[in-house]
Amino acid sequence: MVDSDTRVVATSRGKTALMCLGSVAFVAIGAWLVREPPSEKAMIAGWAACGCFSLTGLLGTFQLVWPPRLVLDSDGLTFHWLLATFHRKWTDIREIVVFKIKSTKMVNIVANPGGKDLALGGGWTVSADELASLIEGYLARFGRANKA
């Protein structure tokens, strides 16, 4: 049952489709390097590209069918990804941190001492800053108010 306090944020199917297309391109380049290697190092790089980007493409295909989603409600946040589900109660969250790896911003949910952090990668339909702001709003409304 979904109440008025529930918000679902899904990953972007467009960004996932681009990841799949990029994987196909890199697998094709890797296959070309394996077929006509200019050197032994190039052939090794080709096999590595075929293996790594085949797995990335497979993961992207799964994400197109079953997109990861983040459910925010009055109890806490729940992150669904493929066969895994991660739930954090608002009272178990210490802070929300936006961090950057190269040019990609991501959101980290920092747990209270003794808990486990939860890092949310990129690819959401909203920016990392907007996602962090949305989670902070729920945290202020349901988590910190309940601690008093």
Neighbours of 49 (CB within 10 A): 20
Is residue 83 within 8 Å of 77, Cβ to Cβ? no
Same domain as 115, residue 96: yes
Encode pLDDT of 74-123 as tens digits. 888 998 888 888 888 998 888 889 988 888 888 988 888 888 888 887 77
Residue 64, Cα to own-chain centre: how many angstroms?
13
Q: Are residues 46 and 88 in the same domain?
A: no
pLDDT value at residue 144: 62
* Residue 85 belongs to a domain: yes
pTM, two decimals, is 0.73
148 pLDDT above the threshold of 50: no
Domains contained in the chain, number: 2
Q: Are residues 54 and 81 in the same domain?
A: no
In terms of residue numbers, what domain contains 22?
Answer: 13-65
Which whole number is the average pLDDT over 10-18? 89
